[in-house]
Amino acid sequence: MGRMDAEQRKKQILECAKKLFAQKGYYQTQISDIQHAAGVARGTIYQYFKNKDDIFMTLLENLHTEMRDIISSKPENYEEDFSDGKKVFKYRIRKAFALFANDPDYCNILLRVGLGLGDNFECILRRFDNQMVELIKAYLISGIKLGRIKPNIDTELMSNLIGGAFMRMAYYYGVTGKGRKKEEFEKLTEEFVETFAYGIFLEKP
């Protein structure tokens, strides 16, 4: 029970820190701000984290892990949602967009706050970006082998195009606050998938 309480407390500190970093920025957020927002003693924070850098790095690592799990996930209705290449693509793009649409603080940290903070943080941000591109590339190569995707596409170029477009749309959802309504979210997801579908999939609509 004690372990669970400790894990919940750590999660609470991270959630409060995430909101503060997203709202105020990294340099403007102090340990004392996080302490007050979480409603814990200053010493409690240091039981879980070495310093502010450690808190911020943990948030980036958590986002990295969450995105990896989302892009690699499979739907409950596996046979229907994975019955053709475009459905697989749409399922995973929707799930990835939803992460930022449902948690805009993450989007602010990734696309605004984390930029220009030095090599340690930028290394995590680059890893996040590279991970997305590599996952997309692996998906394209798999689709070519399955006969779903055009065999002559440049997978390196296309994975970077899709990854770059995705991050721009993540900004659209999370930072500007647009596309939050369900119907807008679905429409933009559909348009994103259709735009690339004509360029990469062999399957006809």
The encoded tokens of residue 91 equal 């399922």
Write down the pLDDT at residue 158.
92
Does the pLDDT at position 123 exceed 70?
A: no
Task: Tell me the pTM.
Answer: 0.73
User: How confident is residue 13, by pLDDT bands cut at 50, 70 and 90?
Assistant: very high
pLDDT of 17 higher than 90: yes
Q: pLDDT higher for 14 or 176?
A: 14
Q: Average pLDDT of 130-143? A: 83
In this predicted model, what pLDDT tens digit does every residue of 50-60 receive, in sequence order?
Answer: 999 899 889 88
Quick one: pLDDT at residue 2? 45
**Band of the pLDDT at 47, cuts 50, 70, 90?**
very high
CA 119 to chain CA centroid, nearest Å: 20
Q: How far is CA 109 from CA 23, 26, 44, 55, 95, in A?
A: 9, 9, 24, 12, 19
Q: Which domains does the chain have, with CATH numbers?
A: 1-49 (1.10.10.60), 51-200 (1.10.357.10)
Q: Helix, strand or coil for residue 62? A: helix
The continuous run of DSSP H or E covering 75 comes out as none
| pLDDT tens, residue by residue, 84-100 | 778 888 888 888 888 87
**Dist. CA 71–CA 200, nearest whole Å:** 19
Q: How many CB atoms lie within 10 A of CB 63?
A: 22
What pLDDT sits at residue 108? 79
